[in-house]
């Protein structure tokens, strides 16, 4: 049984609030290109068309002709033109929404989607747990593309809605005779008076293998860094709750328990102590058979504080933790980060077509474990 966990950072669209703001860099490039074209003594049709595009992007023109429901990018944002091909003024503070509607999310780059597909396809997991999925419709489309592009198809898919407003739910996919018999949501769990404990739920999945084994999988996503909230305290509450789930299942005789997902802290952090130090859970990255492409150059012999291990110097935020009985069945494990942008100075092996952060599959690696369970 091969299980993979991947914070995929959405499949096709991502909320604007979660995208890195690069408008200032775009604006500088547009201005330089506009000045260059304007300085040419003669301009052909292509140059004139590009000048019109740049004028639109820079906001010089407040009118535009577009067919019905065509999306355009402006300043890194997407807008929709809803009425025919007539000239309409762009929405302003005075005019209001006269024909243009700003979208809450933006489409990811095509190469980013390709790298997501390839990362998942390369893992070839029987059970795939995903974090930060926008909706079930996107999950279905993603599965269709997996079949079309990589001949990989999942028979069973389950999506659980997140509780925040950014379209980040949780999902599990199964194939090869492995089935999800039931699941339990914890989106309703509160702390304090009315605050939701998990922004993205914390579903527990009860599986059945072809040979009748029944492992329990907990798909977790803890609070990320924040300047305003007590994120350390909240992560510790979340860790205590998940540790309680683990202990409950162990006490009830479910010895095959796995916890995976983005916990957003290194293993030595106090916030994760209820899971890492106060239980007997084992991290797959500590397994002797852990496979990963090491960093290039001198970093291959360096162990950064908070990293996964020597030669894998990215900060650990994603985990796959196993109960003792499940860890004893662990045959091999690994970390796949070829779809992660390593920077202009390549620090590890990546996909050949990955040339910018916007084209990466995710800012998180995929973790996998191969268990001697059938």
If you search the block for the tokens 């604006």, which residue do you land on? 27
Would you give per-residue pLDDT tens digits along the chain (374 residues)? 999 999 999 999 887 667 654 444 566 677 777 778 877 888 888 888 888 877 776 766 554 443 334 455 555 455 555 444 444 445 455 544 444 444 567 788 899 999 999 999 999 999 999 999 999 999 999 999 999 999 999 999 999 988 777 778 999 999 999 999 999 999 889 987 778 899 889 999 999 999 999 999 999 999 887 645 678 899 999 999 999 999 999 999 999 999 999 999 999 999 999 999 999 999 999 999 999 999 988 888 888 888 998 889 999 999 999 999 999 999 999 999 999 998 877 789 999 999 988 899 999 999 999 999 98
Residues 103 and 113 in one domain: no
Q: How is 123-179 classified by DSSP, letter by letter?
A: H--SEEEEEEE--HHHHHHHHHHHHHHHS---SEEEEE--SSSS--EEEEEE-TT-E
Q: What is the pLDDT of residue 23?
A: 46
The residue from 92, 107, 122 where one domain ends is 107
Residues 214 and 99 in one domain: no
Cβ proximity of 261 and 318 under 8 Å? yes
- Could you give the CA distance from residue 250 to residue 26 in angstroms, rounded to a whole number? 53
Cβ proximity of 143 and 177 under 8 Å? no
Residues 203 and 161 in one domain: yes
Helix ranges (DSSP H) in the chain: 23-38, 45-57, 110-123, 136-150, 231-251, 273-276, 324-328
Residues 262 and 363 in one domain: yes
Q: What is the pLDDT of residue 252?
A: 95
The residue from 54, 75, 107 where one domain ends is 107
CATH of the domain at 241: 3.60.10.10
Residues 62 and 153 in one domain: no
Q: What is the pLDDT of residue 83?
A: 46
End-to-end CA distance of the chain: 6
Per the structure, how many domains does the chain have? 2
Residues 201 and 114 in one domain: yes
Residues 259 and 114 in one domain: yes
Residues 30 and 160 in one domain: no
Cβ proximity of 178 and 209 under 8 Å? yes
- Could you give the CA distance from residue 217 to residue 129 in angstroms, rounded to a whole number? 9
Q: What is the pLDDT of residue 77?
A: 52
Residues 122 and 38 in one domain: no
The residue from 68, 90, 107 where one domain ends is 107
Residues 357 and 260 in one domain: yes
From 233, 236, 326, 332, select the one nearest 281 (Cα to Cα): 326
Residues 51 and 141 in one domain: no
Q: Which pTM value belongs to this model?
A: 0.79
Rg (the chain; Cα; Å):
24
Give me the domain span that covers residue 60.
18-107
Residues 56 and 149 in one domain: no
């Amino acid at each position: 049984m091969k299980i993979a966990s991947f914070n995929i950072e959405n499949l096709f669209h991502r909320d604007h609030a979660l995208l890195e703001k690069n408008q200032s860099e775009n604006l500088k490039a547009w201005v330089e290109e506009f000045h260059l074209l304007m300085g040419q003594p003669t301009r052909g049709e292509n140059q004139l068309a590009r000048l019109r595009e740049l004028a639109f992007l820079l906001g010089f023109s407040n009118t535009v002709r577009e067919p019905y429901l065509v999306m355009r990018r402006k300043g890194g944002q997407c807008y929709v033109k809803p009425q025919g091909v007539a000239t309409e003024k762009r929405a302003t503070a005075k005019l209001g929404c006269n024909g243009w509607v700003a979208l809450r999310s933006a489409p990811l780059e095509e190469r980013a989607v390709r790298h997501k597909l390839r990362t998942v396809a390369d893992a070839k997991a029987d059970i795939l747990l995903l974090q930060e999925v926008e909706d079930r419709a996107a999950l279905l489309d993603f599965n269709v593309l997996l079949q079309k592009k990589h001949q990989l198809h999942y028979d069973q898919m389950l999506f659980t809605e997140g509780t925040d407003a950014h379209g980040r739910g949780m999902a599990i996919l199964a194939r090869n005779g492995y089935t999800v018999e039931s699941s339990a949501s914890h989106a309703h769990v509160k702390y304090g008076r009315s605050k939701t404990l998990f922004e993205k739920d914390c579903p527990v999945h009860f599986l059945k293998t072809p040979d009748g084994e029944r492992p329990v999988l907990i798909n977790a996503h803890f609070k990320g860094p924040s300047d305003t909230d007590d994120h350390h305290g909240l992560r510790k509450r979340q860790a205590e709750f998940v540790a309680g789930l683990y202990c409950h299942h162990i006490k009830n005789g479910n010895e095959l328990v796995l916890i995976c997902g983005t916990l957003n802290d290194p293993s030595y952090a106090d916030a994760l102590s209820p899971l890492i130090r106060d239980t007997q859970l084992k991290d797959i990255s500590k397994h002797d058979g852990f496979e990963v492409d090491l960093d290039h150059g001198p970093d291959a012999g360096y162990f950064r504080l908070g990293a996964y291990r020597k030669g894998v110097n990215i900060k650990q935020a994603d985990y796959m933790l196993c109960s003792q009985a499940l860890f004893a069945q662990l045959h091999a494990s690994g970390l796949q980060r070829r779809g992660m942008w390593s920077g202009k100075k390549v620090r590890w092996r990546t996909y050949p077509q990955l040339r910018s952060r916007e084209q990466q599959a995710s800012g998180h690696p995929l973790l996998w474990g191969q268990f001697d369970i059938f």
